[in-house]
Structure 1
Amino acid sequence: MKRLYKKEMNKRPMTKKGKRGFTLYMVLVLMMCCSVTTAFASNDPIAVVNNLSDFIFGLIRAVGLILLGFGVVQIGLSLKSHDPSQRANGFLTLAGGVIITFAKEILTLITG
């Protein structure tokens, strides 16, 4: 099979309609990139901080749940293979997952 190089490739010429469509597309892309939108701030800045805090703690909770699941799987595999070191690591991962999952509640209890 013969390779086609740039010199040998046949290019189809762009028609007037194609050039007009491409120009319109490029103008629309540039307008979207250069347009400025106004950001309206909330009246209560504490609400914004609370929303951000809830979002971050939601992400932390998701990581904790993943660790919980991994810890349970590790404990199950260690029981199957009778490996005590893997079992200890599984319990440590499980405990860490519980602490990370309930980090917000723990901090709330500590701070009052």
Structure 2
Amino acid sequence: MKHFKKKLPMGRKTRKAFAAYVTFVLCMTLGAATALATSDPIAVVNNLSNFIFGLIRAVGMIMLGFGIVQVGLSLKSHDPSQRANGFLTLAGGVVITFAKEILTLITG
């Protein structure tokens, strides 16, 4: 149980801002995506697809925000390995956030 006692190296204001950011992203994503059933099976599949990609976009935006926080903390502490991890998290968040657009660009 000692592993769970670690605290994030963020101040009180940063934690509150990050929590507000996560809450905002989840509210915007989950509140906007509604999967309504119709008699057309293609419409049902499209609604489900939009809902799932909305969830994926929420995870991507959370990763994007966490990557920004990591890069900011690494610039403050001058830690190159943390900076590299922050930029990787940032890039992963961008890719996950725009996954649907990337897939439609690839498939045509």
- TM bin, normalised by shorter chain, reads 0.5 to 0.7
Q: Name the TM-score, length of structure 2 as normaliser.
A: 0.65
How far apart are 1:42 and its partner, in Å?
2.5
The equivalences for 1:86-97 within 5 A come to 86-97=82-93
Rounded Cα–Cα distance in structure 2 between residues aligned with 1:43 and 1:50: 13
1:42 aligned counterpart, secondary structure: coil
Unaligned runs of 5+ in 1: 1-40
* Bigger CA radius of gyration: 1
More helix by share: 2
Percent identical among aligned pairs is 89
- Which amino acid is the alignment partner of residue 52 of structure 1? L
Q: Unpaired segments of 5 or more residues in structure 2? A: 1-36
Partner residue of 2:73?
A: 77
Q: Partner residue of 1:100?
A: 96
Query: Any idea what the Cα deviations from partners look like across 1:54-90, whole Å, max 9, x if unmatched?
Result: 0000000000000000000000000000000000000
Partner residue in 1 for 2:39: 43
Q: CA deviation at 1:43?
A: 2.0
CA RMSD of aligned residues (A): 0.8
* 4+ aligned runs moved over 6 Å, structure 1: none
Secondary structure, in 3 states, of the residue corresponding to 1:72? helix
The number of equivalent residue pairs is 72
1:62 paired with 2:45, answer: no
Distance 1:64 1:88 in 2: 18
